[in-house]
Amino acid sequence: MKKMSLNETREFTENGMKRFFLVEDSPHFKIINFNLSAGHTFPVHSHDLDGELSILVIEGEGYFLGKDDAELPAKTGDIFISEIREPHGVRAESDMRILVTIAPPI
Structure confidence by residue, pLDDT tens digits, 5-23: 888 888 888 888 877 677 8
Confidence of residue 67 (pLDDT cuts 50, 70, 90): very high
What's the confidence (pLDDT) of residue 20?
Answer: 63
Question: Average pLDDT of the chain?
Answer: 93
- pTM of the prediction? 0.91
Segment (H or E) for 19: strand 17-25
Q: 21 CB contacts (<8 Å, ≥6 apart)?
A: 9, 32, 33
C-alpha to C-alpha distances, 62 to 3, 91, 99, nearest whole angstrom:
28, 5, 14
Mean pLDDT, rounded, for 23-45:
93
pLDDT tens for each residue of 88-99: 999 999 999 999
Looking at domain 16-103, its CATH architecture is Sandwich (2.60)
